[in-house]
Amino acid sequence: MIEIIPAIDIIGGECVRLSQGDYDQKTTYFKDPSEVAVRFRDAGIRRLHLVDLDGAKASAPKNLAVLEKVAARTGMDIQYGGGIKSAEALKAVFDSGANRAICGSVAVTKPDDFRRWLSDFGAGKVILGADVKNGFVATHGWLESSEVSAETLIEQFAGDGLSQVICTDISKDGMLQGPTFGLYEELQGRFPEIDITVSGGISSMDDILKLNDMGMRSVIVGKAFYEGRITLKQLEECSRKE
């Protein structure tokens, strides 16, 4: 069964969700992100996706205290992203309790640094974030666009031990309209040795089951859970089948 990874997006220390990455379209769900993290853990979920939206905007992690609290309360496998632009920031994220770090902008702007991190920290700990907008990878909290496609970016590091990629279709993120199935099918088929995590647009368990049937290995769920379209009971049932 495909692994379901719940997302906790953080602004000002609170659990929020944006629509299409727009900071002006923000909904707050939990004042204390660790509260919902405990619920996920108790439902049998093993891995969490924490996104520091303040950090993404500021180009430096800003919610490490939240990470520390979630890690201490849950003991879960946590992947953390947002503003990781230096080796010092990467180390601080690991020291604060993350098991894996998501790096996107730096892979586009400083590919040699990202390649070095894969080597120094291990491919199992460094995840490539390939967030796509109009066919090209967006950077700096989705506020800037590059001229690099997700496929080109992944290809750039495929020979360096890259083993994990999170690909978010920004146009679908938070819209509850279903993911861009073809995009993920194409990427996973092109890079079978790399785990391509689906992110953006999940609206129901039907979307997740379709991705599972396609052979996708992991999927991030955010707004669909917070809006009640996917329940904790459903997450618990799926976690038993993994």
217 bridge partner residues: none
Whether 207 sits among the annotated catalytic residues: the reply is no
The one-letter amino acid code at 241 reads: K
From the number of C-beta atoms within 10 Å of its C-beta (0-12, 13-18, 19+), residue 11 rates as buried
Whether 169 sits among the annotated catalytic residues: the reply is no
The one-letter amino acid code at 203 reads: S
> What is the DSSP-derived secondary structure letter of residue 159?
G
Strand pairing of 3-11 and 14-19? antiparallel
CA-to-CA dists, residue 169 to 8, 36, 173, angstroms? 17, 25, 6
From 9, 52, 173, 207, the catalytic residue: 9
CA 90 to CA 100: how far, in whole Å? 10
From 52, 54, 131, 169, the catalytic residue: 131
Active site (catalytic) residues: 9, 131
